[in-house]
């Protein structure tokens, strides 16, 4: 299994998205987990996004990926191995909502697994967002070409910036 740091464009897909973007990217759901107070536990919760895409094939692939990430010295083995793994992959660091987080990607033939790690004690330690790989990559490609990622970051082009009155008038011209 190959694991690599997330690109800058991929980092935002390790957080919950709007219903529209989740559908466009093929977001199946995500797994949230922590290592308990000791750092050695493994507690997870699954959140469905599109249950119809959570096929038996996907479940099998998800199990294989997560179990591979739980092997010795891998980021989901325990909080201490996660810390070491993140330190060894400094290029995976990015500023999260309130702390430095680390992002990784694992691809299979049909799915992409984007992992956001936070080795801090007393917090959720990881989120693994699961996507239909082809849809996610297509969406990222379009976003990199200038399409808006979401409404909050949308900046209208000059043609879109017409005052409402003028735009309405143009709508009715024949």
- Non-local (6+) Cβ contacts of 163 within 8 A are none
- Counting every residue written for the chain, the total comes to 174
pLDDT of residue 17: 93
* Predicted model pTM: 0.83
What CA–CA distance (Å, rounded) separates 47 from 21?
Answer: 16
What CA–CA distance (Å, rounded) separates 14 from 126?
Answer: 10
pLDDT of residue 147: 60
What CA–CA distance (Å, rounded) separates 82 from 108?
Answer: 22
pLDDT of residue 39: 97
Token reading at 109: 């033939």
- Non-local (6+) Cβ contacts of 28 within 8 A are 48, 49, 50, 53, 54, 58, 111, 130, 131, 132
Burial classification of residue 120, based on how many CB atoms lie within 10 Å of its CB (0-12 exposed, 13-18 middle, 19 or more buried): middle
Evaluate the CA torsion angle 85, 90, 94, 96 in order and state its sign: positive
pLDDT of residue 70: 98
CA distances 103 to 30, 100, 114, 159, Å, are 14, 10, 7, 37
How do residues 62-107 score in pLDDT, each as one tens digit?
A: 999 999 999 999 999 999 999 999 999 999 999 998 899 999 999 9
């Amino acid at each position: 299994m190959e694991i690599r740091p997330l690109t800058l464009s991929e980092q935002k897909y390790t957080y919950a998205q709007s219903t529209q973007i989740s559908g466009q990217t093929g977001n199946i759901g995500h797994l949230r987990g922590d290592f308990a107070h000791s750092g050695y536990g493994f507690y997870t919760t699954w959140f469905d996004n599109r249950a119809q895409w959570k096929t038996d094939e996907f479940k099998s692939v998800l199990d294989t990926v997560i179990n591979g990430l739980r092997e010795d010295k891998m980021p989901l083995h325990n909080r201490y191995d996660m810390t070491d793994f993140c330190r060894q992959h400094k290029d995976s660091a990015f500023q999260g909502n309130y702390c430095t987080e680390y992002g990784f990607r694992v691809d299979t033939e049909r799915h992409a697994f984007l992992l956001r790690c936070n080795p801090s004690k007393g917090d959720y330690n990881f989120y693994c967002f699961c996507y239909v790989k082809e849809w996610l990559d297509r969406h990222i490609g379009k976003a990199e070409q200038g399409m808006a990622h979401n409404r909050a970051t949308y900046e209208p082009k000059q043609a879109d910036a017409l005052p409402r009155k003028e735009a309405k008038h143009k709508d009715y011209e024949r």
